């Protein structure tokens, strides 16, 4: 009888253990070295979308224009985990492009940076690394110590860098974002929050710095003469054609997140996924959005002849015309098949009267698509044109009487 009882008890123990391993309380160790409790992460399938998305929120954007092509709960405030580092890398990239720092600069590790937990390269206080090495550690290995040290170097202190992050977020129109660190670690905060849309905005801004993809597209690298290995936490870098980045993030509060960018045939897209229950779900959701974008859209840049508006006649001005500044016409994401239906209009004020201020809007270039999307580019004054004075009129009249012709043509020569 005892043998039977022991046998039944063993079966019951095995069943219970199996249930605990495979049930909702299972702990899943993600690639950033952070444990995620699946019971704390909801993974609903987004409805009414052309693709299957398993996440709390998601957005698909076209990079050159920032246009949203697909969205799901895009403005829900959520923990971003290490996707935060996109803003960290953006501020570093801007500092480099503005010649405030260089990639070759050597940075000495602080005690604060060395103390950061989670994913790291185990920096020691007093250790020296270049900005290039720290950027590689941040972009590829998602190292919290490296990201913190970069922030301290750019702003002078960790808090100073956090202030910079939030200030830049406001400038970019990231209206639902609050950063409390440069890493995305959220174990001691409930207010380090952002949205899929805001992540998309800062991702688009980061990708304007072309050199950043030299870091975000690397699958494997090393530091310290090969002693420290770096493996990209973004698996799409290795397995998805055209990937340009960008950053993953995983914590118990955030779930699995990713901002995944890719470029094909000139079309550059970024897919943001927040709050997936597993790593596979975030990558599959991102791939589904990217695949849909590449299947349904193309990169379109209209050819616009602007020579006729390089100079515009000005009435009653001390000079006969004003030179214009015409913005670069960026590419747009156009639905496939709509290329032939795009309408371009150039409209300028034909009755311009002095005075004209530098930067004053003189006209507009509008681009309309068959889907009724409209893009506008302002034509502005390159220089100031002052109003004719009474003395100017007298001089011009005398010149006309003496020479028998006007001082300047009625229309500018824009050839």
- Catalytic residue IDs: 82, 85, 142
CA atoms lying within 13 Å on the CB side of residue 366:
11
Strands 68-72 and 297-300: unpaired
d(CA 236, CA 263): 12
HEC secondary structure over 277-322? CCHHHHHHHHHHHHHHHHHHEEEECCCCCCHHHCEEECECECCCEE
3-state secondary structure of 331: coil
**Contacts with 366 (C-beta within 8 Å, 6 or more apart), sequence order:** 344, 345, 347, 374, 375, 376, 377
d(CA 375, CA 369): 9
Helix axes 196-206, 85-97, angle to 10 degrees: 30
**Contacts with 4 (C-beta within 8 Å, 6 or more apart), sequence order:** none
3-state secondary structure of 51: coil
* N-to-C CA span, the chain: 106
- 117 and 93 Cβ atoms separated by less than 8 Å: no
DSSP annotation of 257: E
121 closest CA partner among 277, 43, 227, 257: 227
- 148 and 123 Cβ atoms separated by less than 8 Å: no
44, 89, 241, 273 from 265: Cα distances, Å: 33, 26, 11, 23
3-state secondary structure of 21: helix
- 139 and 247 Cβ atoms separated by less than 8 Å: yes
286 closest CA partner among 181, 199, 186, 172: 199
Q: What share of the chain is helix, strand, coil (3-state, %, to 5)?
A: 35, 25, 40
φ/ψ region of 296 (left if φ > 0, alpha if ψ in -120 to 50, else beta) reads alpha
């Amino acid at each position: 009888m005892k043998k039977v009882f022991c046998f039944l008890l063993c079966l019951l123990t095995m069943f219970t253990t199996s249930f605990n391993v495979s049930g909702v309380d299972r702990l899943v160790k993600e690639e950033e070295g952070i444990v995620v409790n699946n019971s704390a992460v909801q993974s609903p399938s987004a409805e009414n979308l052309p693709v299957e998305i398993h996440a709390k929120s998601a957005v698909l954007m076209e990079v050159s224009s920032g246009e949203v092509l697909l969205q799901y709960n895009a403005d829900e405030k959520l923990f971003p985990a290490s996707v935060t580092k996109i803003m960290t890398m953006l501020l570093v990239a801007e500092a480099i492009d503005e010649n405030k720092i260089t990639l070759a600069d050597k940075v000495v590790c602080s005690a604060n940076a060395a103390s950061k937990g989670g994913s790291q390269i185990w920096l020691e206080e007093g250790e020296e690394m270049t900005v290039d090495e720290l950027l590689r550690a941040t972009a590829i290995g998602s190292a919290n110590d490296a990201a913190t040290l970069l922030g301290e170097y750019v702003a002078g202190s960790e808090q100073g860098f956090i202030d910079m992050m939030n200030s830049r977020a406001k400038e970019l129109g990231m209206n639902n974002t609050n950063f409390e660190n440069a890493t995305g670690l959220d174990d001691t905060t409930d207010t380090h929050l952002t949205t899929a849309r805001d992540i998309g905005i800062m991702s688009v801004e980061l990708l304007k710095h072309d050199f950043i993809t030299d870091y975000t597209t690397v699958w494997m690298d090393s530091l310290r003469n090969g002693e420290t290995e770096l493996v990209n936490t973004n698996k799409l870098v290795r397995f998805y054609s055209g990937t340009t980045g960008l950053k993953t993030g995983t914590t118990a509060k955030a779930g699995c997140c990713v901002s995944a960018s890719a470029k094909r045939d000139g079309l550059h897209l970024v897919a943001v996924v927040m709050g997936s229950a597993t790593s596979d779900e975030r990558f599959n959701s991102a791939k589904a959005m990217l695949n849909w974008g590449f299947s349904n859209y193309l990169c379109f840049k209209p050819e616009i002849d602007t020579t006729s508006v390089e100079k515009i006649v000005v009435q009653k001005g001390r000079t006969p015309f004003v030179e214009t500044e015409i913005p670069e016409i960026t590419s747009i994401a156009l639905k496939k098949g709509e290329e032939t239906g795009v309408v371009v209009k150039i409209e300028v004020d034909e009755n311009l009267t002095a005075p004209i201020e530098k930067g004053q809007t003189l006209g507009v270039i509008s681009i309309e698509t068959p889907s009724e999307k409209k893009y506008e580019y302002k034509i502005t004054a390159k220089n100031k044109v002052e109003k004719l004075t009474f003395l100017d009129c007298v001089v011009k009249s005398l010149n006309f009487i003496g020479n028998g012709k006007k001082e300047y043509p009625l229309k500018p020569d824009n050839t």
